[in-house]
A and B are shown apart, each in its own frame.
Chain A
């Protein structure tokens, strides 16, 4: 579920940043800065922000909803823990995809837009019939890379919840770590990693196949 949200958000950011506006580079720098912030640090800051009761996020939601929402016990509620961690993962990672999209946007030849304009295409039509199709390869790459990243999730879940509550934030790698390392079941853990690797391999092959079809057309 992180994947479509994060990909869409990254595209939106890239479109915003791709405009010719004053101080746009400053915004680009700001959007990208979480990427260079170490994940452990990010997880710790957000644990503080998600503090049950009087944490900033509870207070913020409470204020903008005039007291209707909250307070929530974000990280200890099995229903909320995973979405809460997703938000910070997106916060940290989306700048990366934004830059990749930005590079993709800048490679779209301007004559395509000029042609579309002469044909009387509106801005919206230009986006759906020029920008999106031209970004097809970039999108495939971003989606695949984000999917693989989601499978590799470990650090933030381990620091914030250790996979709990009630395994709500359990990931493959946490399972491997706990089983293979803490409980000494190396064989079992290795078996999981083999399956994990096969999944990643399948996703990567899928990417190759899709891209090859594209080229042969």
Chain B
């Protein structure tokens, strides 16, 4: 295909029949590839959604090896969804996930942007060292500190006379609020903002916090959105840490809940797919609404190189 295109650009009048034919062929080939890839990326999701609304479990099994796996047919309805709600405190899990991720994101953007602002604008003793430490921390993957962190949240509070943090909300929130990469993204953005506005505000007697609130935040909405989206994508799917620190149902987030649900025998695939759909659909909707922001956020992580 590339060869065909090469010859058209090298010679041949742009109005000749051959040129137009080859151009059309190239376009068709392009769309064929694009559509084939789209099918590749969509089929598991469609499969999940379609299986989840087939009320009859044997139908799900019977259809799974044919193209009918992607066709809603037979007894269609929301029985599987009702089953999930009856068998599990789904609302509880959803609340847990939303509450945990929501707290990480909202508290996180303020904590991280405030320290980034201090690093970018205030001069204080040890500023350079602190900045280097934070940049160095970006390369420490969470998985590397998970085991020692477990000891800290379990034994640490006991040493101070409190009860262990295991099996709680705060154990799933507090370790993730401050995030080196978020601070770095904020810092990079803040040092790019011209100082003139702030100097004027300082002359007028505004405090640093006031400047942060009334000048910096309104000017930095894109980077706030970026950090919020990245933190959301990361923590919505958190699995290892909740697996380590939750015991009962009370504080369990969705990913752990569905894994436990999936581990039961016999496997009722219709119900499992209904559960999976309920985790996926809200995120997909948020993504479709804000997809421009999502894509820009991801793109901005690559530019730091």
Residues on A facing B (Cβ under 8 Å): 13, 16, 19, 21, 27-42, 44-49, 51, 54-56, 58-59, 91, 95-96, 99-100, 102-104, 120, 122-124, 137-138, 140-142, 148, 151-152, 154-155, 158-159, 172-173, 176-177, 180-181, 186, 189-190, 193-194, 196-197, 200-201, 204, 207, 211
Q: Cβ of B10: which chain A residues have Cβ within 8 Å of it?
A: 120, 122
Known A21-B30, A41-B258; contact A123-B2, beta-carbon cutoff 8 A: yes
Given contacts A40-B237, A138-B302, A154-B240, 5 further A-B contacts (CB under 8 A): A46-B44, A99-B299, A158-B243, A177-B243, A186-B151
- A34 → B minimal CB distance (Å): 6
Least distance between B93 CB and chain A CB atoms (Å) = 12
Q: Chain A residues near B171: list those with CB within 8 A.
A: none
Interface contact B259-A99, CB-CB below 8 Å = no
Known contacts A45-B47, A181-B244, A197-B144, A31 near B30 by CB under 8 Å? no
Bound-complex Cα distance A42 to B273 (A): 11
On whether A44 and B233 interact (CB within 8 A), knowing A56-B69, A59-B66, A100-B301, the answer reads: no
Q: Tell me the complex Cα distance, A181–B288, Å.
A: 39
* Cβ distance A120 to chain B, nearest Cβ, rounded Å: 8
B287–A36 touching, CB < 8 Å: yes
Binary contact readout B271-305 vs A (1 if CB under 8 angstroms, 0 otherwise) = 01100100110011011100100110011111111
Q: Interface residues, chain B, CB within 8 Å of chain A? A: 2, 5-6, 9-10, 27, 30-31, 33-34, 37-38, 40-42, 44-45, 47-48, 51, 61, 64-66, 69, 139-141, 143-148, 150-151, 233, 236-237, 239-240, 243-244, 254-255, 258-259, 262, 269, 272-273, 276, 279-280, 283-284, 286-288, 291, 294-295, 298-305
A and B contact pairs by CB, cutoff 8 A, 22 listed: A27-B34, A27-B37, A31-B38, A31-B41, A32-B295, A45-B47, A47-B262, A48-B64, A48-B269, A48-B272, A56-B64, A59-B65, A122-B6, A123-B2, A137-B305, A148-B141, A154-B240, A158-B239, A158-B243, A176-B147, A181-B147, A196-B143
Nearest first, the 10 closest Cβ-Cβ pairs linking A and B are A100-B302, A103-B299, A59-B65, A141-B305, A197-B144, A38-B237, A204-B139, A54-B65, A40-B255, A122-B6
User: Do A138 and B305 form a contact, CB below 8 Å, given A34-B41, A36-B284, A40-B258?
Assistant: yes
CB of A186 within 8 A of CB of B147, answer yes
Which residues on the A side are within 8 Å of B269 (C-beta)? Answer: 48
| Smallest beta-carbon distance B266→chain A, Å | 14
Q: Which residue of A lies closest to B63 (CB)?
A: A56
In the assembled complex, the CB of A48 is this many whole angstroms from the nearest CB of chain B, namely 6
Residues on B with C-beta less than 8 A from A51 are 64
B9 touches A123 (CB 8 A): yes
Residues of B within 8 A of A159 (CB): 259, 262
Residue numbers in A under 8 Å from B41 (CB-CB): 30-31, 33-34, 91, 95
Residues on A with beta carbons closer than 8 Å to the beta carbon of B30:
16, 19, 21
The answer to whether A33 and B305 have CB atoms under 8 Å apart is no
Q: Which residues of A contact B259 (CB under 8 A)?
A: 40, 44, 159
Give complex CA distance A51, B51 in Å: 15
* Bound Cα distance A46, B48 (Å): 10
Contact residue among B48, B66, B233, B300 (Cβ-Cβ distance under 8 Å from A45):
B48
Residues in B whose Cβ lies below 8 Å from that of A189: 147
Q: Kindly state the separation between the CA atoms of A181 and B5 in the bound complex, as whole angstroms.
A: 58
* Among candidates A59, A122, A200, residue contacting B139 with C-beta atoms closer than 8 Å: A200
Chain B residues within 8 Å of A34, by CB = 41, 44-45
Contact A173 B303 (CB under 8 A): no
Residue of B nearest to A153 (CB): B143
Are B65 and A56 in contact, CB atoms less than 8 angstroms apart?
Answer: yes
B47 touches A49 (CB 8 A): yes
Distance, CA A199 to CA B24, complexed state (A)? 50
For the complex, what is the distance from the CA of A106 to the CA of B163, rounded to whole Å? Answer: 53
What residues of B have a CB within 8 angstroms of the CB of A124 in the complex? 2, 6
Q: Is the Cβ of B302 less than 8 Å from the Cβ of A104?
A: yes
Q: Which residue from B64, B240, B287 sits with its C-beta under 8 Å from A33?
A: B287
In the complex, the answer to whether A99 meets B295 with C-beta atoms within 8 Å is: yes
Identify which of A27, A40, A176, A201 gathers the most chain B CB atoms within 10 Å of its CB: A40
Please give, as numbers and ranges, the residues of chain A lying within 8 Å of B145 by CB-CB distance. Answer: 193
Given contacts A102-B299, A204-B139, contact A39 B239 (CB under 8 A): yes
